[in-house]
Chain A
Amino acid sequence: MIGRAHHAPSSTVALDAPRDESALLRVEGLKVHFPTEDGLVKAVDGLSYTVPAGRTLGIVGESGSGKSVSSQAIMGLHRGSRAQVSGNIFFDSTDLLQIGDEQLRRMRGRDIAMVFQDPLSALHPYYTVGNQIMEAYRVHHNVSKSAARTRTIEMLDRVGIPNPDKRIDQYPHEFSGGMRQRAMIAMALINDPRLIIADEPTTALDVTVQAQILELLVGLQEEFGSSIIIITHDLGVVAEMAHEILVMYGGKAVERGSADEVFYTPGHPYTWGLLSSMPRMDRARLERLRPIAGNPPSLINPPSGCAFHPRCPFMDEAKYHCVSQVPVFNPELPHPVRCAIPEGERHVIFEQKVKPSL
């Protein structure tokens, strides 16, 4: 494994059962489909997961796997567009897909906040950073401008921006990339939300800054007790932060488990592929990194059966129904894997063929 941060939980931490009614967020059978001229794009096609209070879920997958689209559905950012969203998203006991626009608007930013990928394009270029953060606070709190300003300076300070009383009046383009992302985090945290959705929060940043931002998020989570969904294509990021990891492929979940399970006993050939395409720092480099062959699947005409089968190196020897049936994914299990190959054989393949070269 890459250098795992000490924040990451050990596998002894009891995982909440997926059906746990006490989970802060429960996504059940979420589908997000976009009608286009070429056909129906099934960006998210039957996704279920839970996020317990105070825990971090990492959603991993390559571009087009539906990870961002599913998180935007939680915020209702598809409302007013042509997207067809179905399923249930329970936040506490409220179904976010059923409530009215106004009720959802009041929850956005206050109960659920979002940190976006590219903080330069996610901040309005014509308004000062402070103005935008204060706005996020005042829309949910009936306070004076000066009170909001004090609170904003406090938050900027808390996320590690030096001279917050001066930086508050600067524009986004006057901030460096890392500082901008800190400001975005301050904006997301200012209302003390119970759930933070971080959509590729470090992808647009320098590698040196990435670790600082992740550390900041982890520290703030401990302090504020929020749940976090962190969306990334970078396994290193979730290794740092996530308690639980959900691997997505072609709009569906293919594997879910605790961070240790996914890293040490991964069950799905796609997860194996992700792990072997990741550089390792803790071992001598013996051979080249192995990319996953092929391209992400079409979301309009996904491959029949298992969406990963055209790229799966173990399909031929498996002789199973990879092509004819969509493998089941049982969210009731502690470590479900969507694969046609029986678990026992997969374990053998992993131990003999995959693990030695990881």
Chain B
Amino acid sequence: MYAYVIRRLFSGLVMLIVMSFATFLMFFNGAVDPVRYTCGKACGVPGVLERNRAMLGYDDPVPVQYAKFVKGVFVGRDFPDDPALRKSAPETIARCDAPCLGYSPKENSTVTSMLAERAPISASLAVAAFIMWIAFGVGGGIVAALYKGRWPDKLIVGTALIFYAFPTFFIGLFLYKFVAIKWELTPQPVYTAFTEDPVAWAMGLFLPGLTLALFYIAGYIRLTRSYVIEAASEDYLRTAKAKGLDKRTILWKHTMRSALTPLITLAALDFAGLLGGAIITETVFNYQGLGKLAVDAATTWDLPVTVGIVLTLSTIVILANIIVDVLYAVIDPRVKLA
């Protein structure tokens, strides 16, 4: 088991290196000169571009830049990385502590601190959405499967499909403008830090979480429904019935165990994807999460921030994959660890 985990971690690491280098190459060796976006109108002043280029380390070849970036992740780095300057004028040096994902001259801030500021908002949103979509999606799917072909089944699947058909921005705007503001049915969806006020945190997350969840619920209802129906027709459920087990044991111990296991993989990966932010929902509800940050960075050519977000997100997804694989080995005895 441990060997398996270590092997999975190692392959994840390899994936991470390849992925980060590719991302790095794409952004810092592309058609756009990152230095052009560091100085605005001042770029016209002779010498500014060159100075900024040296200061941010963009004068090195890309592999060297990459090496410095990787080093920065582990030990932090200075902008500019100039030992002479550190002695003579330390106040002109911007320090980026480990794990340093780069420095955004535009925001005058390290990428790490920008991500750290936004991550809790996206994570909260993801958690809220996850709870709702699992509760309604899986719950609805189970109910639909149990009433297969009868009206509760049709009602649940049909309703879910209607919500799925509406675009997220429509549902988000509707919930925001009508449910929260016009009809005042729910508290204003404003983000409050969990550490400040857990109740306000949860209340504020309800509508944006629901907006996000509605998109997933339809898919999870259909999947759960078909997994449960499929599991219910397995031979081993006939065995369970023939043993004289009661309906509840058959449903919860035997049917659900095989129906819900494959859902774990999907749910974990979807959740990991959501941690990276939900662009539309965050925009509609004006939540300053990672999704919003990514859009802002991309539209203003803030390359260090864009790279930082891409790398963070892909790391999360790779980690989620490893966790799912290990989890699967624990819950499905047939998975060979060799």
Which A residues fall within an 8 A CB radius of B? Answer: 75, 77, 105-110, 113-114, 116, 118, 121-128, 132, 135-136, 139-140, 171, 173, 184, 187
Distance in angstroms between the alpha carbons of A125 and B240 in the assembled complex = 12
- Chain B residues with CB under 8 Å of A113's CB are 242
> What 1/0 flags go to B222-244 for Cβ under 8 Å of A?
00000000000011101111111
Report A262 CB to chain B, min CB distance, Å.
Answer: 28
- Chain B residues with CB under 8 Å of A122's CB are 235-236, 238-239
Confirm or deny: B334 has a beta carbon within 8 angstroms of a beta carbon on chain A.
yes
Considering the complex, give the chain A residue whose CB is closest to the CB of B331.
A126
Q: List 5 A-B contacts (CB under 8 A).
A: A121-B235, A124-B258, A125-B332, A135-B245, A139-B243
A-B contact sample (8 more), CB < 8 A, given A139-B245, A140-B244:
A105-B244, A110-B244, A114-B242, A116-B235, A126-B258, A135-B245, A173-B334, A187-B243
- Chain B residues with CB under 8 Å of A184's CB are 239
Distance in angstroms between the alpha carbons of A136 and B241 in the assembled complex = 10
Confirm or deny: B246 has a beta carbon within 8 angstroms of a beta carbon on chain A.
yes
User: Does A125 contact B236, Cβ atoms closer than 8 Å?
Assistant: yes
Distance in angstroms between the alpha carbons of A313 and B332 in the assembled complex = 54
Report B234 CB to chain A, min CB distance, Å.
Answer: 7
User: Does B254 contact A124, Cβ atoms closer than 8 Å?
Assistant: yes
Distance in angstroms between the alpha carbons of A158 and B270 in the assembled complex = 49
Considering the complex, give the chain A residue whose CB is closest to the CB of B254.
A124
User: Does A173 contact B333, Cβ atoms closer than 8 Å?
Assistant: yes
User: Does B243 contact A108, Cβ atoms closer than 8 Å?
Assistant: yes
The listed residue with most A CB atoms (<10 A of its CB), out of B234, B240, B261, is B240
Confirm or deny: B36 has a beta carbon within 8 angstroms of a beta carbon on chain A.
no
User: Does A123 contact B238, Cβ atoms closer than 8 Å?
Assistant: no
Report B250 CB to chain A, min CB distance, Å.
Answer: 10
Distance in angstroms between the alpha carbons of A114 and B241 in the assembled complex = 10
- Chain A residues with CB under 8 Å of B106's CB are none
Distance in angstroms between the alpha carbons of A136 and B240 in the assembled complex = 8
User: Does B333 contact A124, Cβ atoms closer than 8 Å?
Assistant: no
User: Does A77 contact B239, Cβ atoms closer than 8 Å?
Assistant: no
Which residues of B (167-226) have their CB < 8 Å from a CB of A? none
> What 1/0 flags go to B104-141 for Cβ under 8 Å of A?
00000000000000000000000000000000000000
Distance in angstroms between the alpha carbons of A77 and B242 in the assembled complex = 7
Confirm or deny: B257 has a beta carbon within 8 angstroms of a beta carbon on chain A.
yes
Top 7 closest pairs, chain A to chain B, by CB: A109-B244, A108-B244, A121-B235, A109-B243, A136-B243, A124-B236, A171-B333
- Select one of B240, B244, B331 contacting A124, CB under 8 A: B240
Q: What total of chain B residues lie within 8 Å of the partner, measured CB to CB?
A: 21
- Chain B residues with CB under 8 Å of A187's CB are 239, 243
- Chain B residues with CB under 8 Å of A125's CB are 236, 258, 332-334
Distance in angstroms between the alpha carbons of A116 and B237 in the assembled complex = 12
Distance in angstroms between the alpha carbons of A118 and B239 in the assembled complex = 11
User: Does B258 contact A139, Cβ atoms closer than 8 Å?
Assistant: no
- Chain A residues with CB under 8 Å of B261's CB are 126
Distance in angstroms between the alpha carbons of A140 and B234 in the assembled complex = 23
User: Does B236 contact A123, Cβ atoms closer than 8 Å?
Assistant: yes
Distance in angstroms between the alpha carbons of A187 and B234 in the assembled complex = 18
Distance in angstroms between the alpha carbons of A321 and B261 in the assembled complex = 59
User: Does A105 contact B236, Cβ atoms closer than 8 Å?
Assistant: no
Report A145 CB to chain B, min CB distance, Å.
Answer: 15
Report A168 CB to chain B, min CB distance, Å.
Answer: 14
User: Does A105 contact B246, Cβ atoms closer than 8 Å?
Assistant: yes
Distance in angstroms between the alpha carbons of A123 and B257 in the assembled complex = 13
Report A67 CB to chain B, min CB distance, Å.
Answer: 16
Considering the complex, give the chain B residue whose CB is closest to the CB of A190.
B243
The listed residue with most A CB atoms (<10 A of its CB), out of B234, B240, B244, B249, is B244
Distance in angstroms between the alpha carbons of A132 and B333 in the assembled complex = 14
Report A166 CB to chain B, min CB distance, Å.
Answer: 15
- Select one of A106, A108, A114, A121 contacting B236, CB under 8 A: A121
User: Does A126 contact B332, Cβ atoms closer than 8 Å?
Assistant: yes
- Select one of B234, B235, B238, B242 contacting A109, CB under 8 A: B242
- Chain A residues with CB under 8 Å of B239's CB are 114, 116, 122-124, 132, 184, 187
Distance in angstroms between the alpha carbons of A187 and B239 in the assembled complex = 10
* Given A122-B235, A126-B257, A106 and B333 contact (CB-CB distance below 8 Å): no
* Given A124-B254, A124-B258, A125-B258, A118 and B235 contact (CB-CB distance below 8 Å): yes
- Chain A residues with CB under 8 Å of B241's CB are 75, 77, 108
Distance in angstroms between the alpha carbons of A285 and B235 in the assembled complex = 40
User: Does B234 contact A108, Cβ atoms closer than 8 Å?
Assistant: no
- Chain A residues with CB under 8 Å of B234's CB are 121
- Chain A residues with CB under 8 Å of B332's CB are 125-126
Considering the complex, give the chain B residue whose CB is closest to the CB of A124.
B236
Distance in angstroms between the alpha carbons of A107 and B236 in the assembled complex = 19
Distance in angstroms between the alpha carbons of A208 and B332 in the assembled complex = 31
- Chain A residues with CB under 8 Å of B334's CB are 125, 171, 173
User: Does B244 contact A139, Cβ atoms closer than 8 Å?
Assistant: yes
Report A136 CB to chain B, min CB distance, Å.
Answer: 4
Report A89 CB to chain B, min CB distance, Å.
Answer: 15
- Chain B residues with CB under 8 Å of A75's CB are 241-242
Distance in angstroms between the alpha carbons of A49 and B258 in the assembled complex = 38
Considering the complex, give the chain B residue whose CB is closest to the CB of A112.
B242
Report A231 CB to chain B, min CB distance, Å.
Answer: 14
- Chain A residues with CB under 8 Å of B258's CB are 124-126
- Chain B residues with CB under 8 Å of A77's CB are 238, 241-242
User: Does A124 contact B243, Cβ atoms closer than 8 Å?
Assistant: no
- Chain A residues with CB under 8 Å of B236's CB are 121-125
Report A10 CB to chain B, min CB distance, Å.
Answer: 34
> What 1/0 flags go to B42-73 for Cβ under 8 Å of A?
00000000000000000000000000000000
Report A167 CB to chain B, min CB distance, Å.
Answer: 14
- Chain A residues with CB under 8 Å of B254's CB are 124
- Select one of A105, A108, A126 contacting B333, CB under 8 A: A126
Report A134 CB to chain B, min CB distance, Å.
Answer: 11
Report A301 CB to chain B, min CB distance, Å.
Answer: 27
Considering the complex, give the chain B residue whose CB is closest to the CB of A105.
B244
Distance in angstroms between the alpha carbons of A173 and B335 in the assembled complex = 10
